[in-house]
Structure 1
Amino acid sequence: MNTTPFTGLTIVTVLYRSGEMLAQTLPTWARSAGELPVRFVFADNWPQDGCEKVIAEHFDEARYEYLPDSSNPGFAAGCNRAVAAATTSHVLLLNPDVWLPDDALDRIHAAIAEDPETPIAVGLAMHGGEYVGISLNPISLFIDRPASATRAALGPSGGAAVFPTELFHRFGGFYEHLFAWGEDADLALRLYASGSRTRALDLVLPHAGGHSVEGDNKLQGFRAFLLARNRLLVAARTFTWPLMLVAIPVLAVAHLALAARRARQGLLRPFLRGVGRGLLDGPAARRQWKGRRFGFASLYGYLTVRRA
C-alpha cells in the first residue's frame, strides 16, 4: 500500500551557461506541461547569460521560481537548493539540454501516480545511444546504463530523475562537495543500500549532453579532475569496509587504464590531480555519511536481479 501521496510535480533544473540551449528546449517543456499541475524551479549558476528572460517568455511568473547564484556552487548544490524550494510531493530533475515530447509530462505524471514511493529513471538519448539510469562498472565505477541492459538500474541519472521530495530530503540530497559528475551515483548507491529501488520508465528524451563544457578546454580539464576525484569519493562514502578492501585494487588498475585514456585526450594532469585530491578527501567524505552503505549483499542483489 502506497503511503506517499502524489500532490504535484516540480521540475528542478540547474543552469550553467545554458541561455542558448534553454531557448531551444524550453518551448518543448511549456507545450508538454500544458495545463498539468507542474511547477518549475531554476537554479541559475551563471545568471549573466539571459536565462531569466528566456524563462519569463515561456511561463507565467506564478508558475516558476528563479534562483540565481553567480558564485556557481555546482550542480549538486544547485539541485539541493532548488529541491528545497519545491512544495510538491515529487520533483523531476531535468537538465536544460533535454527536449520534452508533447506527451512526456503526461506519461511521467501517470508513472508517479501508479507508484508514488519509488524513484523513476527517465531515459535519455545522447551521443548516438539510449540510456536509462545509472549502472555500476568495474573501470569507471558508475556509467550511464544502456536502455537495452537486462540488469535493473542502480538509480536514476541526475539528467532526468523523479524522486519523492521527502525521500530526497531524508537522504540529504546530493553530496555537495562532489560539485558535479557523480553526485547522482553517490545518492543511488546510498538509496540502493537502504533498500530503495528505482523503476525505469519506457520514455527516452532527446538530450544534447555536455553543453556546459563544450568547446572550453579549461572546463574539460575541470571535468576530468572532478570525475577522477569523485569516483574515489563516491566509493569512500558509500562502500562498506569489506567491499572497499576488494574495490581498492580494482580501482587502482582501473585508474591506470583511465590515465592512459586521459593522456590521449591531453587531460592527464587534471586527472592525476583529481586522483590525488580524492585520496586526500576520502576519509572526510566517508565520515560525512552515517547511513547504510553498499556492501556485498547489495552488490549481489544488483548483479543478480534483472529488470522487470
Structure 2
Amino acid sequence: MTGTLAVVTVLYRSAPMLAETLPTWVRSAAGLPVRFVFADNWPEDGCEKLIAGCLDDERYTYLPDPANPGFAAGCNRAVAAAGTSHVLLLNPDVWLRDDSLTRIRAAVEAAPGDPIAVGLAMHGGDYTGIDVHPISLFIDRLAGARRGPLGPSGGGAVFPIEVFREFGGFHEHLFAWGEDADLAYRLYAAGRRTRPLDLALEHAGGHSVGGDGKLLGFRAYLLARNRILVAARTFSWPLALLAVPFIALAHCALAARRARQGLLRPFLRGVGTGLREAPAARRQWRGRRFGLGSLVSYLRTGRAA
C-alpha cells in the first residue's frame, strides 16, 4: 500500500480508558506500518507510562501540554508531528478490532485523496461521520444513510495530511465540540467529499467529562457558543439568514433541557459569547462557504461535487 498511517489521539484524563483501548490498537497495528501520536492535555494521570508499556519507543510520539489548549489544538499539533501521508484521528475511548487498521488502510488505498468517516457504535446506534440537521445544524450521521457524510467526526476520521493542512486543520478557538463540524462544512463547500467506512467501532463517549459538574458546564457552554460560531464562520450570508430562526428555536429548546440538567447558566453564557464573537469568527475564514447550493447538493445525494 502507498504511504503510511499515523493514529492521532488527544488525551485528557484518559488513563483509565486508554488502559482498556490501547492494547486493542496495538493488536490491530501488528505487522502494519502504523505509528501513533499522542497529544496529552492532562499529562499528570500516567498516560505516558501506560503508552511506553505498550509500544516501542520508535513506534510513537508523545506530546504533553499541561496547559490544555483543547481538542482542536491538540489534534493540529499531533497531525503536524505525524510525519505520514495520512492520519487516523481516534478518540481514546474507541476500541479497535484486530482487522480495523487493515480495513482502514485498504480504504485509504482505494481513495488516497479523500477524507474518510470511520463508523462508531455509540449511544445504542451506529454512526458514521457528520450529518446536517435543520435545528442543531450538525449531528452524528446514521450509518448506512443514503446521503454520504458531510464530513468525518473528530472521534473517528481519516485525513490525507495535505488536505488537513490545506484547510487549516481544526479551528483552535472552538476548543472542542464542534470543531469537526466546522471543518466538515468547509470541506463540503470546497467540493471535498468524505467517504464512509461503516466499521461500527465501539465508542464509550464522554469519558473526559465523566460526571464532573464543572466540566459538564464547560461542555454546555462550548456547545452553545460553538453552534453559533460554526454557522457564522462557514455559512454563506443567505444560508446564515435562513438559519437564524432555526438556531433560535434550537437554543430555546436546549435552554429548557439545560435548565433541567442544572446547566442553564453556562449554556446562556455560551449563547451570549457566541453572539458577541460571531462577527470576528466570520472574518477569520476567507475560503468558500457552505451556501444554499451546497445544501441542495448535500440533501439530494451527499456526493455531488
Q: Give the TM-score taking structure 2 as reference length.
A: 0.98
CA contact (8 A) 2:148 2:303 kept: yes
CA contact (8 A) 2:186 2:234 kept: yes
Give per-residue Cα distances to partners, 1:175-208, cap 9 Å, x unaligned.
Answer: 0000000000000000000000000013110000
Give the Cα separation in 1 of the matches to 2:157 and 2:17. Answer: 20
Quote the offset at 1:268 in angstroms. Answer: 0.9
User: RMSD over aligned Cα, in angstroms?
Assistant: 1.2
Give the Cα separation in 1 of the matches to 2:111 and 2:176. Answer: 29
**Residue among 148, 155, 159 paired with 1:159:** 155
Matched, 1:221 2:217: yes
Paired residue for 2:139? 143
Stretches of structure 2 that go unaligned for 5 or more consecutive residues are none
CA contact (8 A) 1:138 1:254 kept: no
**Residue among 80, 83, 92 paired with 1:84:** 80
Quote the offset at 1:6 in angstroms. Answer: 3.5
Q: Give the TM-score taking structure 1 as reference length.
A: 0.97
Equivalent position SS for 1:14: strand
Runs of 4+ that moved beyond 4 A:
none
Paired residue for 2:3? 7
Paired residue for 2:46? 50
Paired residue for 1:236? 232
| Equivalent position amino acid for 2:119 in 1 | G
Quote the offset at 1:149 in angstroms. Answer: 2.3
Give the Cα separation in 2 of the matches to 1:106 and 1:150. Answer: 26
Give the Cα separation in 2 of the matches to 1:160 and 1:168. Answer: 14
Equivalent position SS for 2:8: strand
Give the Cα separation in 1 of the matches to 2:249 and 2:219. Answer: 21
Quote the offset at 1:147 in angstroms. Answer: 1.1
Give the Cα separation in 2 of the matches to 1:178 and 1:307. Answer: 27
Matched, 1:64 2:64: no
Paired residue for 2:275? 279
| Equivalent position amino acid for 1:264 in 2 | R
Paired residue for 1:198? 194
Give the Cα separation in 1 of the matches to 2:4 and 2:188. Answer: 25
Matched, 1:301 2:291: no
Question: How many aligned residue pairs are there?
Answer: 304
Paired residue for 2:118? 122
Quote the offset at 1:86 in angstroms. Answer: 1.2
CA contact (8 A) 1:224 1:267 kept: yes
Paired residue for 1:184? 180
| Equivalent position amino acid for 1:127 in 2 | H
Stretches of structure 1 that go unaligned for 5 or more consecutive residues are none
Paired residue for 1:262? 258
